[in-house]
């Protein structure tokens, strides 16, 4: 008896943060693609799974593409970037940021991109020298052992509702003030080897993603109600305001900002080089 041929599956990392909840919501409910499986996790965990080939594609921290340059491609056209004070990449501080030189700072363990952005801002833009500790910590716990803490995602959003007598800094806003470019937090990063294995599923997924991005600029009421039920730190107005500050299109300006981030990360010793950006070709669009 012949052995049954294993069906091809495109394994996709799913980040549960609000900044991309809407994308996965529509992908899974309205524009599902046969042959796709999702695995949820923090950006750091999904980066590791992508690196080890345990998943094929992920809306991954932008620094992961640079670290794996040569083994990755990007899906063209899409990202998670800024077009305002994003509010989910925040430095919470008991001191004004210009007085943090010499201070101890706790960094999130959930995303390498935000950590490197924070380090670049403090050292290159503001001339600070700091002691850093990377750990999983909530706002109050971190500030008992440090002067400032970097939080991302829903942790940062929730902390913003209870931060009293603290300075709160939107890192993407500081980045744009100093560089003139928006910041790119995440990219649809693809294992190049997966193209040979799942090429047709990838093309179908990319077409589905295009449809999703036409929806997310005007979220429907069912999506809004679902998010509010799961994330009680939001009001309807605050949720819509938050999404309005996010850009999901990888524009030319975002690409230039991404290239600058890679160059500064390389010059600061966080990358071995500044990578060439290469895209997956989905064919006829």
Picking from 177, 174, 179, 172, the residue whose alpha carbon sits closest to that of residue 152 is 172
pLDDT at 7 over 90: no
Cα dihedral 48, 54, 57, 63, rounded to 10, equals: 10
For residue 160, what pLDDT is reported? 80
Residue of 136 and 202 predicted with greater confidence:
202
* Mean pLDDT of the region 211-222: 93
Q: How far, in Å, are 63, 129, 281 from residue 258 at the CA level?
A: 9, 24, 20
Q: What is the pLDDT of residues 129-140, one digit of tens each?
A: 999 999 887 888
Measured distance CA(9)–CA(178) in Å, rounded: 43
pLDDT at 1 over 60: no
Contact (CB, 8 A) for 189 and 51: no
DSSP assignment of 60-75 equals EEHHHHHHTBTTEEEE
For residue 164, what pLDDT is reported? 81
Query: 89-179, what's its fold?
Result: D-Maltodextrin-Binding Protein; domain 2 (3.40.190)
168: CB partners within 8 A, 6+ apart: 90, 91, 92, 93, 160
- Asked: is 10-83+183-267 a CATH 3.40.190.10 domain? The reply is yes
3-state secondary structure of 31: coil
pTM of the model: 0.92
- The yes-or-no answer to whether 10-83+183-267 and 89-179 have a common fold is yes
3-state secondary structure of 122: helix
For residue 4, what pLDDT is reported? 42
User: What are the two backbone dihedrals, phi and then psi, of residue 132, each rounded to the nearest 5 degrees?
Assistant: -115, 140
Domain ranges, ordered by start, for the chain: 10-83+183-267, 89-179
């Amino acid at each position: 008896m012949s052995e049954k041929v294993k069906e091809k599956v495109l394994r996709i990392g799913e980040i549960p943060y609000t900044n991309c909840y809407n994308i996965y919501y529509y992908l899974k409910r309205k524009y599902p693609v046969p042959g796709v499986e999702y695995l949820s996790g923090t950006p750091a965990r999904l980066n590791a799974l992508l690196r080890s080939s345990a998943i094929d594609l992920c809306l991954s921290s932008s620094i992961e593409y640079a670290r794996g340059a040569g083994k990755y491609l990007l899906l063209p056209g899409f990202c998670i970037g800024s077009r305002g004070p994003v509010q989910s990449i925040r430095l919470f501080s008991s001191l004004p940021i210009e007085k943090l030189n010499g201070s101890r700072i706790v960094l999130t363990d959930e995303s390498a991109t935000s950590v490197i952005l924070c380090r670049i801002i403090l050292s290159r833009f503001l001339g600070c020298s700091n002691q850093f500790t990377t750990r999983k910590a909530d706002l109050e716990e971190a500030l008992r052992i440090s002067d400032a803490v970097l939080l991302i995602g829903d942790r940062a959003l929730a902390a913003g509702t209870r931060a009293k007598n603290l300075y709160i800094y939107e890192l993407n806003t500081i980045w744009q003030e100093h560089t003139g470019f928006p910041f790119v937090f995440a990219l649809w990063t693809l294992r190049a080897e997966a193209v040979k294995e799942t090429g047709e599923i990838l093309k179908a997924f990319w077409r589905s993603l295009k449809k999703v991005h036409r929806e997310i600029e005007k979220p429907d009421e069912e999506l809004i109600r679902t998010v509010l039920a799961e994330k009680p730190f939001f009001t309807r107005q605050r949720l819509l305001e938050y999404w309005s500050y996010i850009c999901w299109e990888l524009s030319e300006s975002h690409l230039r900002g991404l290239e600058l981030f890679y160059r500064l990360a390389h010059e600061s010793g966080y990358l071995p080089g500044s990578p060439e950006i290469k895209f997956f070709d989905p064919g006829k669009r």
